[in-house]
Structure 1
Amino acid sequence: MHQRSVKLDGFKRADGLWDIEARLLDSKDQDYPLSSGLRKPGEAVHDISVRVTVDGKMNIIEAVTSVDATPYMGYCDTNLPDYSRIVGLNLFKGFLKAVKDMFGATRGCAHLSELLMFLPTAALQTFASEVVDNADSEHKPYQLDRCHALSSHSETVRRYYPRWYRNQNPG
């Protein structure tokens, strides 16, 4: 009855910056009567996108949103909160909380805010294409302590990143 597609793409730009693009597309497989009018099968109910440009430290340099379809065109798409306020935030340091504080509940578009929640992990995967996974350097690999399998006290880290293994859970 309902299909939601979320697509994220990451790109390295010629200027050394990175673009992360996210798109959310909702549609129905049957006629969908709304107060604002009938949506036909396959017609977009939501078609919403965001693109952020980040530097190598995952600081947001630019943020652009696009709303091409909503249930209430002329309303949802015209009075959007200023999502460029995320410029200056770091995707890996307090980003999710900051987005919730800025745009939670009725302070933002629920669908745009939801898309923003995907950006840190999409950026991580994009950036991972450029970094040797277990390079022996003086800096802890960026992927450690970002999920349970790669916590410093995990068996995974003990086996694959022994230099960074810590024998006990700090919590």
Structure 2
Amino acid sequence: MPYRGRIGAPLSGFAMNAGLPVGNRRLVHTRHISCTAYERADGLLDIEGHLVDSKPFPLELSERGALAPGAAIHEMLLCLTVDRGLTIRDVRARTMHAPYGICGAIGDSYRQLIGLQIGRGFVRHVKSLFRGVAGCSHLTELLSPIATTAYQALWGDPLAKGRDGRFAASLKTPSPVDGCHALRSDGEIVRSNPQRFQQQD
């Protein structure tokens, strides 16, 4: 069956079209990461990241004992509440499943994020902040997709834009220009949409 962008869909068609060898293979691990953005009644945004690890065969863990095929080995939820300037106002972390009972005890440490602004250098800074024994590797891993989801949550939202259609200066978020090859400053897309991609002061 060709790949159609669905979670868990076979990649056979995609790999063949991309010129990648497939051959016979078997599923050995699945990691699902999903991020969802919600606008709250108070105008703030909740950005939730959810991570689940599972295996398609039985697994024995020292503290949890036998896990059935497909049971969650890790399941973590991290929610950042941000304002429209992408300053973090609140943080909630929850560990629903982990190999060890102590894993979830680190959750409150992520409240150190309160007051930080999501912007250039954010992911690098927080990975340093929660490196090693200072954090949970799985919760920390969620911070990068949560950050990009926060940008996507504001993009296209009329409440987050100025009247002329440009990104409101009050957001103080990095311009997307030169953030990827498609939006390079000397490229056709930026040249064709100068007002939309006008650099912020």
- The normalised TM-score by structure 1 is 0.83
For residues 1-49 of structure 1, give each alpha carbon's deviation from its aligned partner in whole angstroms, at most 9, with x where no partner exists: 2111111110111111111001001111110122332211121101101
Distance in 1 separating the partners of 2:104 and 2:58 = 23
Structure 2 residues not aligned, in runs of 5+: 1-27
Of the structure 1 ranges 52-61 and 34-43, higher mean CA displacement relative to structure 2 is found in 34-43
Structure 2 counterparts to residues 104-119 of structure 1, below 5 A: 104-119=131-146
The superposition leaves residues 66-107 of structure 1 with CA deviations (integer Å, 9 ceiling, x where unpaired) of 0000011x2212244600001111111431122111112332
Q: Structure 1 residues 141 and 2, CA, compared in 2 at 3 Å: closer, same or farther?
A: closer
SS of 1:7 mapped into structure 2:
strand
Pairwise CA distance, 1:158: 1.3
Q: Compute the TM-score of the two structures, normalised by the length of structure 2.
A: 0.72
- Structure 1 residues 112 and 128, CA gap change in structure 2 (3 angstroms): same
1:28 to 55, 59, 70: 55
Q: Secondary structure at the match of 1:126?
A: helix
Q: For residues 160 and 85 of structure 1, do their structure 2 counterparts lie closer, same or farther at Cα, with a shift above 3 Å needed?
A: same
Bigger mean CA offset, 122-131 vs 57-66: 122-131
Root mean square deviation, CA, Å:
2.7
C-alpha deviation, 1:160, in angstroms? 2.7
How far apart in 1 are the matches of 2:167 and 2:116?
Answer: 26
Q: Secondary structure at the match of 1:47?
A: strand
For residues 4 and 137 of structure 1, what CA distance do their matches in structure 2 show? 34
Which one has the bigger strand percentage?
A: 1
Percent of residue pairs bearing the same amino acid type:
35
Number of equivalences:
165
Runs of 5+ unmatched residues, structure 1: 167-171
